[in-house]
A and B are shown apart, each in its own frame.
Chain A
Amino acid sequence: MALMNFKNTVLKNLFSKPVTRNYPAEPAVYPERSRGHIEITIEDCILCGLCAMNCPSRAIKVDRAASTWSIDRFDCIQCGYCTEKCPKKCLHIVPGYQEPMDKKAVAVYEKPVQAKKYPKADMDTCVFCTLCAKKCPKEAITVDRAEKKWELNKELCVSCGLCESSCPKKSITLVEEK
């Protein structure tokens, strides 16, 4: 038992530099992995809506008719699940926290107009395995193994390319259509 155990710690603290940083005069340094906020490379986005469908806090909205991708930064919990789900890897989680705002606002990103790409199956190599139909998030592909038919509903298709990447025979390619 002693009375003066803390004395050395007090003396050390008295004659050492402060451990806190003089923020904001000395800016904060974030490590590379720091989950600050979500950024989008809107040119690469295909508006498939997988991020919006999987966002646990439903912070992301995708409007295909208006070609916009929007995020409510106050709702976002920086879990990074959207970046994992994005088939085009156009979503990134980057350091630097959301700036304070005086009212809630939704950040809207508009996709520049581009010609749309649709999947096309090469009937010579296709084995009608139905993997593309199973992977399609919008159920736009129908495959009939008995009839040897592969059909695409262009209205439902979002050009995500999941069918292309899942095809074991590499017989699906995304082709531009005017």
Chain B
Amino acid sequence: MAKQSIVPFGPQHPVLPEPIHLDLVLEDEKVVKAIPSIGFVHRGLESLVEKKDFNEMTYVVERTCGICSFMHGMGYCESIEHIMNVEIPDRAKYLRTIWAELSRIHSHLLWLGLLADAFGFESLFYQCWRMREKVLDVFELTTGGRCIFSVNKVGGVLKDMDAEMLKVMLDVTAGIEEELKVIKKTFLFDYTVESRLKGVGVLTKEQAHNLGAAGPFARASGIKMDMRTTGYAAYKDLDMEIITSEAGDSFARCEVRINEIFQAIDLIRQAISKIPGGELSAVVKGNPNGEYFMRVEQPRGEAIYYSKANGSKFLERMRIRTPTFANIPSLLETLKGADFADVPLLIVTIDPCISCTER
């Protein structure tokens, strides 16, 4: 047996925007085991439900993460709406869907940039983030915020989008679609990129299932699971096919996410063509009493919001299960047998969001 050595990886590392620590057990250049430790940025957001009422809590939940902020707020609001049996207006459902899908584009473009950066293709990284900037401008135009929108409330949404804004959104997404078609060739058909991604960090369908992987990471291993098919918000009225890939390697994860951007653009088009008029929010009376599990599909995978209310304005318990937390066991599995030089790349392929994980 070769001599084993332990290399600490993180919490501060150039590839990690956020802190996670891994102890990598190496045999020569091969990783044989990875031991994670998390908890560097725990903020205790969930315990704030004891101090903030259920309406104020929307703004706290939104700030769990800066990338999937909108969907955190939406998931939380939907859980409270289900407890209170509030049927939100159709227009609010569609607006939520449009913003959620635009968030998915923004998150996946960010991830593509980080991936390009991780395998050392700096100019491709800039190209992706340049496209993402246009999405952020649309967010600022329609909601007022670039990353955190604060447009959700229990019972509906706070802001409307007029025809002009919807047209801007269509134009911008069409522009991104064109640009992405060009960039896609570099990601999926380039010799150097393929040599860094193909066959690296393979996770089989069975492993992904047993370890409870979520989101594009699981779908890249062939698991057909997408919470959008459960039909929350306006998804039940839109046509979509779950995007999967069979290979289960880093290349498949990249492919799934690129195709999901095209899918998100298509969903936005469908939603804008079907959006009904009417009210933005329903009247919410009284305090919630009961409990509910809300499952939403975030860019990184399935997130679960559990809310338990007792009839007062403060919730009794609130819990968020985030996709990165679910993906860490699978990440450790993919790291086994990987080259030491591929570790940063493999960590990026789960699209880690540590602030979500630690809340």
Contacts and interface: CB of A to CB of B under 8 A. Distances in A.
B140 A31 contact: yes
B52 A33 contact: no
B191 A19 contact: no
Contact of B142 (A33, A78, A93): A33
Contact of B59 (A3, A6, A10, A81): A81
A112 to B, nearest CB: 30
Interface string A1-23: 11101101110010000010000
B182 A8 contact: yes
Interface in A56-99: 56, 77-81, 84, 93
In which size bucket is the chain B interface?
Answer: 20 to 34
A35 interface: yes
Interface in B250-277: none
Q: Describe A's contact surface by its main secondary structure.
A: loop
Contact of A2 (B123, B130, B159, B191): B191
A56 B52 contact: yes
A165 to B, nearest CB: 15
Interface in B137-161: 140-145, 148, 150, 158-159
Interface in A24-74: 30-31, 33-35, 54, 56
Nearest to B149: A35
B333 to A, nearest CB: 29
Given A5-B189, A6-B124, A34-B144, A84 B56 contact: no
Interface of A: 1-3, 5-6, 8-10, 13, 19, 30-31, 33-35, 54, 56, 77-81, 84, 93
Interface of B: 52, 55-56, 59-60, 62-63, 123-124, 127, 130, 133, 140-145, 148, 150, 158-159, 182-183, 185-186, 189-192, 194
